[in-house]
């Protein structure tokens, strides 16, 4: 019986969470959108949505549809997964979706725990850090769609929700379970809070948060909290069908992490940058040209890299010329069409960087479910899908995750 139903607001977040659930011994499957078929015998289902940057009403509707489908298929506890950098706008979508799921699940209150210490995401006194920098001083302050300029998560979430937001601080967590329960009781019963931002500096803090929230029908946060769950019974090292052939890397993200990864890969792999003006004019024709360039390299067994920019300011320049939404959509459509052309030509291994890009690629390929396999790095597992009569291996990477050599070492983990 599946008991844990998860809703992720983008596709890389879905594979991130699913990989951590597998690592704790939970049989886990990813569905693309709300499941419509009976679910296999699993411990957890992760629904991959594409709702991080859509209008808040659309995000709420998609989350409620997913929750309803998961509940009808036997899930009894629910998880709303968003990015460990709390990506959102002043209007949402994190707060509105949490509000809707509180109502749908009947949860008296819930946590908001984006921390993932293994990936350098920590929270102290309600302030989110990326590595040793406040969120507002990290590369996320320049995000083209969801710039994060305030590290105080209580202050960020407050305007997005109709409920009071409280803080479960580090000192209380370290004081033990009794002190934590008393603090939560004061915040929720006396103060009326229904969402508690949780501090977490390390795995011990995550364990304390998980214990505090264990009986809640709804939890929310990043994927780091999954590593604090009690061990399941399934093997932690999952195996998946693997496909032969070279790897094609499609990098749409222009985060600092991804641009460093593309810079490293350009020294070792044949590479081609997406011509933005051509992509805006005709993404399908641009993709066809990129795939034609890649094919001779792939035919000789050499991996390739197709990427959106050398530097973030290139994208900003293009946004000023063509408009931010138009550029984002053109890059997504181009890389998605490129993936479709490459797989039609026999490519069976893809690594996709960027949440929006990953969603566009998976949707373009018509994939409905993913099986989760071994981790490449924290938060980045390999997956397998049935595609064109055989396995297709996909790694969907959040823009901010992974070591510098990820694109050139990913295949070592298959």
Q: What is the pLDDT of residues 14-64, one digit of tens each?
A: 999 999 999 999 999 999 999 988 888 899 999 999 999 899 999 999 999
Mean pLDDT for the stretch of residues 361-371: 95
Give me the pLDDT at residue 61, please.
98
Whole-angstrom CA distances from 239 to 19, 373, 390, 396 are: 12, 5, 16, 17
Length of the chain: 414
pLDDT of residue 138 exceeding 70: yes
Mean pLDDT for the stretch of residues 133-137: 96
Which has more pLDDT, 145 or 182?
182
What is d(CA 353, CA 356) in angstroms, rounded to the nearest whole number? 9
What is d(CA 227, CA 22) in angstroms, rounded to the nearest whole number? 9
Torsion, CA 354, CA 360, CA 362, CA 363, rounded to 10: 160
Encoding tokens for residue 161?
Answer: 């929700």
- In this prediction, residue 330 has a pLDDT band, given cuts at 50, 70 and 90, of very high
pLDDT of residue 194 exceeding 70: yes
- In this prediction, residue 139 has a pLDDT band, given cuts at 50, 70 and 90, of confident
Which has more pLDDT, 21 or 2?
21
Contacts of residue 147, defined as CB under 8 A and 6 or more positions apart, other chains included, come to 140, 141
Q: Measuring CA to CA, which residue among 29, 9, 10 is closest to residue 19?
A: 29
pLDDT digits (tens, 9 = 90+) for 68-120: 999 999 999 999 999 999 999 888 999 999 999 999 999 999 999 999 999 99
Residues 409, 144, 92, 370: is their CA dihedral positive or negative?
A: negative
Give me the pLDDT at residue 200, please.
98
- In this prediction, residue 312 has a pLDDT band, given cuts at 50, 70 and 90, of confident
The structure's pTM equals 0.89
Judged on CB neighbours under 10 Å (0-12, 13-18, 19+), 40 is exposed
DSSP-based three-state secondary structure for 128: strand
Give me the pLDDT at residue 38, please.
82
Residue 159: other Cβ atoms inside 10 A: 11
Q: Measuring CA to CA, which residue among 305, 373, 336 is closest to residue 50?
A: 336
- In this prediction, residue 237 has a pLDDT band, given cuts at 50, 70 and 90, of low
Q: How many CA atoms lie within 13 A of 83 on its CB side?
A: 28
pLDDT of residue 294 exceeding 70: yes
pLDDT of residue 1 exceeding 60: no
Encoding tokens for residue 93?
Answer: 């979508």
What is d(CA 32, CA 331) in angstroms, rounded to the nearest whole number? 21
Q: Say which DSSP state 38 is in.
A: P
Give me the pLDDT at residue 22, please.
93
Task: For residue 46, give the H/E element and its range.
Answer: strand 44-48
Q: Measuring CA to CA, which residue among 25, 28, 23 is closest to residue 45?
A: 28
What is d(CA 149, CA 331) in angstroms, rounded to the nearest whole number? 25
- Matching residue, tokens 């298959």: 414
Give me the pLDDT at residue 2, please.
61
Mean pLDDT for the stretch of residues 240-246: 94
Q: Say which DSSP state 190 is in.
A: I
Mean pLDDT of the chain: 94
Q: At what angle do helices 94-105 and 56-72 cross, to 10 degrees?
A: 30
């Amino acid at each position: 019986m599946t008991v844990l139903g998860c809703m992720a607001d983008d596709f890389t977040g879905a594979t991130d969470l699913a990989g951590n659930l597998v690592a704790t011994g939970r049989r886990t499957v990813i569905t693309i959108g709300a499941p419509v078929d009976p679910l296999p015998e699993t411990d957890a289902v992760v629904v991959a949505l594409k709702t991080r940057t859509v209008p808040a009403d659309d995000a709420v509707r998609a989350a409620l549809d997913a929750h309803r489908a998961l509940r009808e298929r036997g899930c009894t506890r629910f998880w709303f997964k968003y990015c460990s950098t709390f990506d959102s706008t002043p209007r949402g979508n994190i707060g509105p979706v949490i509000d809707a799921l509180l109502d749908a699940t009947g949860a008296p209150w819930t946590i908001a725990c984006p921390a993932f210490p293994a990936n350098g995401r920590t929270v102290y006194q309600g302030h989110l850090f990326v590595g040793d920098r406040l969120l507002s001083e990290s590369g996320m302050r320049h995000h083209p769609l969801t710039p994060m300029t305030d590290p105080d998560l209580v202050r960020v979430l407050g305007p997005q929700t109709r409920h009071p937001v409280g803080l479960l601080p580090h000192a209380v967590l370290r004081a033990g379970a009794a002190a934590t329960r008393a603090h939560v009781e004061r915040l929720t019963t006396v103060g009326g809070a229904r969402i508690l931002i949780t501090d977490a500096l390390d795995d011990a803090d995550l364990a304390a948060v998980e214990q505090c929230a264990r009986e809640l029908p709804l939890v929310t946060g990043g994927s780091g909290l999954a590593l604090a769950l009690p061990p399941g019974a399934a093997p932690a090292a999952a195996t998946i069908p693997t496909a032969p052939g070279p790897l094609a890397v499609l990098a749409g993200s222009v985060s600092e992490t991804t641009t460093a990864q593309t810079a490293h890969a350009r020294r070792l792999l044949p590479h081609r940058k997406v011509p933005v003006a051509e992509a805006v004019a005709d993404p399908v024709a641009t993709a066809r040209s990129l795939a034609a360039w890649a094919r001779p390299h792939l035919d000789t067994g050499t991996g390739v890299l197709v990427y959106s920019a050398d530097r973030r300011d290139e994208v900003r320049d293009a946004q000023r010329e063509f408009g931010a939404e138009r550029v984002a959509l053109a890059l997504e459509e181009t890389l998605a069409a490129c993936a479709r052309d490459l797989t039609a030509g026999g490519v069976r291994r893809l690594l996709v960087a960027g949440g929006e890009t990953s969603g566009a690629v998976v949707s373009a390929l018509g994939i409905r479910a993913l099986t989760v396999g071994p981790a490449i790095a924290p938060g980045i597992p390999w997956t397998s899908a049935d595609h064109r009569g055989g396995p297709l291996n996909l790694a969907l990477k959040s823009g901010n995750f992974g070591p510098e050599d990820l694109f050139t070492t990913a295949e070592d983990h298959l």
